[in-house]
């Protein structure tokens, strides 16, 4: 590997053994390991662009830090990156192809994101989910704030349960009264790729609480009738967490019903429409998908609930911002988030879009595409915000916000 090249990574500062370091994660989620390196080593990584040899890196390091690095030390570091699948090349290509083949041949979508420990203990997982309802930030047993009308849609977080569990509970308490629902169309986020804009899979989802089956007739109808290839990005479902985390809650909520199914959808990034200065619905792929979903719902006879599995703002150096998030910033973030959520409550799709587009999605709202798509499909009286939450790490490297909402006919 004469001119090594890094694959796309997410790099963000962390405190490790009392020192400020840089953490590297595979942006696609395919490489499972993370790497923590000192800043001088991160400088070496910045030079792995496919155009610099080991000797080029050695010379650049000398110019920057005034120290000589032995070429065999640089080569060993490059070899370690390759072993951990952080470099472009034959090793990663072979690994990637194996994963794609395994997923294509699999009858189900494997469960991945809650680890191998306590979450795979079904009774313990049930107790954990139940505890979020009684949490001080949870909805409790009786929540007069939750409408008792005919709920046709829901917005819930996809942050991990430890940080967002009580907020999830608000949303799922809101749909407990849905006794006659057949199918949940889950609009998740494709964090790994901007395109394709929409991807589905007919594969049932494994969970520690049992298999969450898909509405395969509904998925088949979407695939056959849509104006784009909805299976082109099916492989992204393998590693994406935004749908998976909802299947666990749904299996918990509908433990006694085997006839509640899902339609898993991943939504790609809409940020390209901001750059083009247009509304997403002006793109034939978005309008075509929205119309196909509406037509399929009408023709299916199913009792459908739409679900947006989304988080809101992602702020701080971990997400590319220059400065840390201070406790004093949280109120401003809350105000900006609640402004766009009022548009969502009012079903003002274009107001929601403009509220984010006017500053080029400065707050990195990852749920943008799924919320916009839900607002384009759903036909209800309005939405109601049930819970808004924020999480900030102690050092202020990152802040993530999220909310639960229901949509009533």
Dist CA 355 CA 340 (whole Å): 6
- Tell me which of 52, 72, 101 is where a domain ends: 101
Task: Kindly state the average pLDDT of the residues 355-370.
Answer: 97
pLDDT tens by residue, 193-207 = 889 999 999 999 999
Instruction: Check residue 173 and give its pLDDT.
Output: 93
Lowest mean pLDDT among 19-33, 117-131, 209-223, 249-263: 117-131
User: Looking at the structure, do residues 80 and 185 belong to the same domain, yes or no?
Assistant: no
Highest mean pLDDT among 22-26, 37-41, 357-361: 357-361
User: Looking at the structure, do residues 86 and 167 belong to the same domain, yes or no?
Assistant: no
Instruction: Check residue 344 and give its pLDDT.
Output: 98
User: Looking at the structure, do residues 284 and 152 belong to the same domain, yes or no?
Assistant: yes
User: Looking at the structure, do residues 164 and 121 belong to the same domain, yes or no?
Assistant: yes
Q: What percent of the chain has pLDDT over 70?
A: 98
Burial class (CB within 10 angstroms; exposed 0-12, middle 13-18, buried 19+) of 277? exposed
Dist CA 40 CA 17 (whole Å): 17
Dist CA 81 CA 11 (whole Å): 14
- Band the pLDDT of 11: cuts 50, 70, 90: confident
Q: Are 198 and 289 in contact (CB under 8 A)?
A: yes
Instruction: Check residue 142 and give its pLDDT.
Output: 72
Structure tokens at 291: 């119309």
Dist CA 231 CA 229 (whole Å): 5
Q: Are 247 and 210 in contact (CB under 8 A)?
A: no
* Average per-residue pLDDT for the chain: 93
Residue predicted with more confidence, 263 or 147? 263
User: Looking at the structure, do residues 54 and 169 belong to the same domain, yes or no?
Assistant: no
Task: Kindly state the average pLDDT of the residues 389-400.
Answer: 94
pTM of the model: 0.92
pLDDT tens by residue, 97-125 = 999 999 999 999 999 876 555 556 789 99
User: Looking at the structure, do residues 59 and 117 belong to the same domain, yes or no?
Assistant: no
User: Looking at the structure, do residues 352 and 233 belong to the same domain, yes or no?
Assistant: yes
Instruction: Check residue 409 and give its pLDDT.
Output: 85
Beta strands in 260-316 (DSSP E): 261-267, 304-309, 314-315
**CATH number of the domain encompassing residue 373:** 3.40.830.10
- Band the pLDDT of 9: cuts 50, 70, 90: confident
User: Looking at the structure, do residues 121 and 79 belong to the same domain, yes or no?
Assistant: no
Residue 4 lies in a domain: no
Domain of 83 in residue numbering reads as 9-101
Dist CA 10 CA 240 (whole Å): 16
- Tell me which of 80, 101, 122 is where a domain ends: 101
Dist CA 67 CA 63 (whole Å): 8
User: Looking at the structure, do residues 305 and 363 belong to the same domain, yes or no?
Assistant: yes
In this structure, what DSSP letter does residue 326 have?
Answer: P
Instruction: Check residue 393 and give its pLDDT.
Output: 92
Instruction: Check residue 118 and give its pLDDT.
Output: 55
Q: How many domains does the chain have?
A: 2
User: Looking at the structure, do residues 158 and 175 belong to the same domain, yes or no?
Assistant: yes
Dist CA 314 CA 398 (whole Å): 7
Instruction: Check residue 223 and give its pLDDT.
Output: 98
Instruction: Check residue 320 and give its pLDDT.
Output: 87
User: Looking at the structure, do residues 285 and 347 belong to the same domain, yes or no?
Assistant: yes
Residue 1 lies in a domain: no
Residue 165 lies in a domain: yes
pLDDT tens by residue, 326-351 = 999 999 999 999 999 999 999 999 99
pLDDT tens by residue, 30-73 = 888 889 999 888 999 999 999 999 999 999 999 999 988 899 99
Residue 2 lies in a domain: no
- Tell me which of 43, 70, 101 is where a domain ends: 101
Dist CA 389 CA 374 (whole Å): 21
In this structure, what DSSP letter does residue 318 have?
Answer: G
Instruction: Check residue 300 and give its pLDDT.
Output: 95
Q: What percent of the chain has pLDDT over 90?
A: 79
Instruction: Check residue 16 and give its pLDDT.
Output: 82
- Residue with tokens 């008792």, as numbered in its chain: 148
Q: Is the pLDDT of residue 401 over 90?
A: yes
């Amino acid at each position: 590997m004469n001119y090594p090249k890094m694959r796309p990574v997410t790099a963000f500062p962390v405190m490790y053994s009392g020192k400020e370091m840089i953490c590297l994660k595979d942006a696609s989620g395919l490489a499972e390991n993370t790497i923590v390196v000192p800043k001088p080593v991160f400088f070496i990584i910045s030079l792995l662009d496919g155009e610099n040899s080991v000797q080029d890196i050695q010379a650049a390091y000398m110019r920057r830090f005034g120290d000589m690095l032995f070429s065999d030390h640089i080569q060993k570091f490059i070899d370690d990156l390759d072993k951990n699948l952080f470099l472009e090349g034959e090793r990663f290509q072979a690994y990637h192809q194996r994963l794609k083949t395994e997923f294509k041949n699999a009858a189900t979508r494997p469960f991945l994101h809650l680890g191998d420990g306590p979450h795979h203990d079904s009774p313990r997982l049930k107790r954990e989910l139940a505890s979020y309802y009684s949490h001080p930030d949870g909805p409790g047993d009786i929540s007069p704030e939750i409408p008792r009308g005919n709920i046709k849609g829901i917005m819930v977080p996809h942050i991990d349960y430890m940080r967002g569990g009580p907020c999830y509970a608000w949303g799922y308490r809101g749909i407990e009264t849905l006794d006659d629902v057949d199918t949940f169309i889950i609009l998740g986020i494709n964090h790994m790729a901007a395109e394709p804009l929409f991807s589905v899979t007919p594969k049932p989802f494994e969970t520690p609480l049992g298999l969450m089956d898909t509405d395969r007739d509904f998925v088949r109808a979407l695939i056959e009738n849509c104006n784009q290839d909805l299976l082109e990005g099916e492989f992204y479902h393998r590693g994406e967490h935004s749908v998976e985390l909802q299947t666990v809650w749904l299996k918990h909520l509908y433990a006694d019903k085997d006839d509640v199914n899902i339609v898993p959808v991943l939504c790609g990034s809409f940020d390209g429409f901001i750059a083009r200065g247009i509304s997403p619905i002006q793109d034939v792929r978005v309008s075509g998908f929205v119309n196909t979903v509406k037509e399929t719902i009408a023709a299916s006879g199913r009792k459908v609930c739409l679900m947006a599995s989304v988080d809101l703002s992602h702020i701080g150096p971990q997400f590319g911002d220059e400065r840390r998030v201070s406790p004093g910033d949280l109120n401003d973030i809350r105000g900006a988030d609640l402004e766009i959520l009022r548009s969502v409550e009012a079903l003002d799709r274009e107001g929601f879009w403009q509220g984010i587009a006017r500053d080029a999605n400065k707050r990195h709202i990852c749920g943008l595409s799924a919320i916009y798509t839900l607002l384009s499909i759903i036909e209800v009286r309005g939405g109601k915000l049930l819970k808004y939450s924020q999480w900030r790490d102690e050092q202020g490297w990152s802040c993530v916000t999220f909310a639960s909402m229901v949509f009533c006919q």
